[in-house]
Structure 1
Amino acid sequence: MEQNEFDHDLNIDRLGPATVPSPKRVMRYTADDERVIAATDPVAIARQLAAGQAPASFEAAGPREFLFFNPDGLRAGIVTCGGLCPGLNDVIRAIVLSLYHHYGVREIDGFRFGYEGLNPDLGHEPLQLTPDGVEMIGELGGTILGTSRGDQDVTLMVDTLVARNVRILFTIGGDGTLRGAAAIAAEIARRNLPIAVVGVPKTIDNDISLIERSFGFVTATAEARRAVQAAHNEAEAARNGIGLVKLMGRESGFIAAYSALADSQVNFCLIPECPFTLEALLPALAERLRQRGHAVIAVAEGAGQQLVGRDGARDASGNVKMGDIGLFLKEAIKDYFAARNVSISLKYIDPSYTIRSLPANAYDSAYCLLLGFNAVHAAMSGRTNLVVGYWNNHYTHVPIPAAVSRRKQIDPEDWLWTSVLLATGQPRELV
């Protein structure tokens, strides 16, 4: 990442001094002054130090020796928002287990259907979450709390928290969810209420800024690899076979990129960050067929939007609705070769909803557990308006305003995209 990506206030808001001894004795507490260096380039760090500047750093996550909240009689709430993602239930389970077993919190509301659950006018009664109730939910895809998209009246949502005496709200979601969490935190601060808001980063696209990896991404990439393998098998088994796979990735092509790296079976990886034209892509595809007799294309859903055209309509989360680049390419490829009297066998695979509704794999499940634990540690210490992150092998606290300040994307000049080009053999420019 560029150095200016760290030009944000990375200090974490607190509700007040932490004076309550933690009931959980651990081998090691995290000190309040522990930091995780943000930049990884030693030259840039040396330059900052020479100029008398402290390198940008995140507050380290982890259990604190002293808490802001007294666990006795404390009530917490959990909400899941946006699209489904592997690991949602794992995070719910981790938060419940940590609240209950680490801190003795017995009252945990699971608000139903996203932020709708905080709007009393919609009548969604919260679930009462217990360790027994969440014991096996990690084996399930989706979310036991349900989800939704779209805004709700922030004043009504905070009124609900006050009416139910909820002192901690955990929001599990992506960019839109975090913006909603920031709005809730701002309204809480305006009213000077002792309520903490802590986010957990959920987005299958892995596009939250200042967070190395969002949960569910590893599972999504593993399943996308299966789709790519199927497309490769189909393509290789036919004369002039083409496997076309559309993967999730509205503005960031991480799933497509890592799927291309997994087995080196992808010959063309198309992502939103790198524009392409049919005039460049289709002749390159024809040359690949001439040389090797088959080809595999992985395209992120947000790629090539200048080709399909968009009417500016937005979904309930405020995102611009994407044109279907997968179906567009399918027809464009068929028309191109038909016009040249070249017979092809094209198989189109769109595993998007299959991928996002899966249970998390073992790696993501462990990651979800630690994200959930660290979210609880942060909230109990009185920290608020933050999302738990992961950076350079450390769990971190990231202010929500910094996390949503920009979309994390693949840098076409960075090592990741260079590696994709080497793995696929596609031309550097397809324009």
Structure 2
Amino acid sequence: MGRNAGHIALRATLSSRDVDCCLIPEVPFFTEGPGGLFEFLDGRISENGHCVVVVAEGAGQDLIPRTAEQGFDDSGNLQLLDIGQWLVAELKKWWKKHNPDKLFAVKYIDPTYMVRAVPSNAADTFFCTLLAQSAVHGAMAGYTSFVAGTVNGVYCYIPLDQISQSTHKVDIHNHIWAWVRSINSQPDFKACENRNSNGSASDMDLNFTPKEKAAAAEKSD
């Protein structure tokens, strides 16, 4: 789950508070090299003896080699490759190369059907009942090409063409993504990659954004 947006992965990370790294489609990352994902995970494993990574389905699709057969499905949607299995395989190869004498095991869990199979609670039932009733009332009133939903807490009819105009992606400049990084202290992988391409960088450069470095400098003073 999380083909185009990482809302579920993000909120699972915030709810668990045991996650060391959260990977979502909106935030690019790289695996190998200084400041990369594998180096970060290696540090967490060395520090805690384990680490937990939450990965959205659409994360890191640009990293996986594609073949000519892997194109679009019958609905016109891009066929996503299995980022979870790919990460596991690549991490095992990287670990064997850099830590050949250290014991290493990966437990991979795909929670897709676990999420869908959770029994509904009272709030779920109440919400779905109102949506169903709203849809029936709208159809009986003669409306077509609409979906029942809520806008600012108010139940309303939303035209399908307006819904399809944009996707609800995670705003990585919003405070919610800042909460995630404040909980697990994961680095800004894209910033690390840019610094690597522009020249060498210190450990502080690789793990913190300029704003975070300024705040750390003020605190140290």
The TM-score bracket by the shorter chain reads 0.7 to 0.9
Deviation at 1:405? 0.8
State whether residues 337 and 343 of structure 1, in contact with CA within 8 Å, keep that contact through their aligned partners in structure 2. no
Q: 2:37 aligns with which of 271, 274, 281?
A: 281
* Partner AA of 1:315 in structure 2: D
CA distance in 1, matches of 2:161, 2:65: 31
Residue 264 of structure 1 is matched in structure 2 by 17
State whether residues 309 and 323 of structure 1, in contact with CA within 8 Å, keep that contact through their aligned partners in structure 2. no
User: Which blocks of at least 5 consecutive residues in structure 1 are unaligned?
Assistant: 1-247
Report the secondary structure of 1:379's partner residue: helix
Deviation at 1:357? 4.5
CA distance in 1, matches of 2:84, 2:46: 23
Closer, same or farther: CA 304–404 of 1 in aligned 2, 3 Å: same
Residues 7-406 of structure 1: matches in 2 within 5 Å? 248-279=1-32, 280-311=36-67, 312-340=70-98, 341=100, 342-406=102-166
CA distance in 1, matches of 2:79, 2:121: 30
> What's the C-alpha RMSD, in Å, of the aligned pairs?
1.6
CA distance in 1, matches of 2:64, 2:78: 13
State whether residues 14 and 180 of structure 2, in contact with CA within 8 Å, keep that contact through their aligned partners in structure 1. yes
State whether residues 29 and 189 of structure 2, in contact with CA within 8 Å, keep that contact through their aligned partners in structure 1. yes
User: Which blocks of at least 5 consecutive residues in structure 2 are unaligned?
Assistant: 194-221
CA distance in 2, matches of 1:252, 1:309: 21
CA distance in 2, matches of 1:410, 1:315: 25
CA distance in 1, matches of 2:152, 2:10: 21
State whether residues 6 and 26 of structure 2, in contact with CA within 8 Å, keep that contact through their aligned partners in structure 1. yes
For each residue in 1:140-166, what CA deviation from the matched residue of structure 2 results, as whole angstroms up to 9, or x when unmatched? xxxxxxxxxxxxxxxxxxxxxxxxxxx
The structure with the largest helix share of the pair is: 2
State whether residues 31 and 37 of structure 2, in contact with CA within 8 Å, keep that contact through their aligned partners in structure 1. yes
State whether residues 249 and 300 of structure 1, in contact with CA within 8 Å, keep that contact through their aligned partners in structure 2. yes
* Partner AA of 1:375 in structure 2: A
CA distance in 2, matches of 1:251, 1:429: 19
Report the secondary structure of 2:148's partner residue: strand
CA distance in 1, matches of 2:55, 2:71: 22
State whether residues 276 and 304 of structure 1, in contact with CA within 8 Å, keep that contact through their aligned partners in structure 2. yes
State whether residues 29 and 37 of structure 2, in contact with CA within 8 Å, keep that contact through their aligned partners in structure 1. yes
For each residue in 1:184-227, what CA deviation from the matched residue of structure 2 results, as whole angstroms up to 9, or x when unmatched? xxxxxxxxxxxxxxxxxxxxxxxxxxxxxxxxxxxxxxxxxxxx
Correspondence 1:410 to 2:166: no
Residue 172 of structure 1 is matched in structure 2 by none
**Max Rg structure:** 1
The structure with the largest strand share of the pair is: 1
Closer, same or farther: CA 314–357 of 1 in aligned 2, 3 Å: farther
CA distance in 1, matches of 2:106, 2:11: 23
State whether residues 305 and 322 of structure 1, in contact with CA within 8 Å, keep that contact through their aligned partners in structure 2. yes
CA distance in 2, matches of 1:403, 1:310: 30
Deviation at 1:359? 4.3
CA distance in 1, matches of 2:114, 2:130: 25
CA distance in 2, matches of 1:370, 1:331: 45
* Partner AA of 1:250 in structure 2: R
CA distance in 1, matches of 2:130, 2:65: 42
Deviation at 1:384? 2.3
Deviation at 1:313? 1.6
CA distance in 2, matches of 1:324, 1:360: 28
State whether residues 30 and 189 of structure 2, in contact with CA within 8 Å, keep that contact through their aligned partners in structure 1. no
The alignment of Structure 1 onto Structure 2 pairs a total of residues equal to 184
